[in-house]
Amino acid sequence: MGSKGRPPKLIIEDLPRKFIREINFKDGRSQKWHYDLDRNPNGNPIEVEMFYPEGFFEDETKTKKKKNGKKEKRS
């Protein structure tokens, strides 16, 4: 059987109130999750930054090339 009485108080003040978690993926993407437990005590991130390697989105590279290049003339 367990002990009787009130359980001891847990001291959580040793943990940092603001911190950043960095996540790196195998395909070159990375994310930074910013936490501030004073602003959001539930533990949800207050900001998420997402970074993609150059040329990750094929559509963006095609549109950039079309904008920089000359327009095609149709006959």
Q: How confident is the model at residue 24 (pLDDT cuts 50, 70, 90)?
A: very high
Q: How confident is the model at residue 8 (pLDDT cuts 50, 70, 90)?
A: confident
DSSP labels, the chain: -PPPSPPPPP--TTS-SEEEEEEE-TTS-EEEEEEETTT-TT---SEEEEE--TT-SHHHHHHHHHHHSPPPPP-
Query: Which residues touch 49 (CB under 8 Å, ≥6 apart)?
Result: 31, 32, 34
Q: What pLDDT shows up at residue 16?
A: 85
Identify the bridge partners of residue 73 per DSSP, sorted by sequence position.
Answer: none
- Encode pLDDT of 38-69 as tens digits: 998 888 999 999 999 998 888 765 666 666 66
Q: Which two tokens stand for residue 48?
A: 């998420």
Its pTM stands at 0.59
Query: Where are the domains positioned within the chain?
Result: 14-55
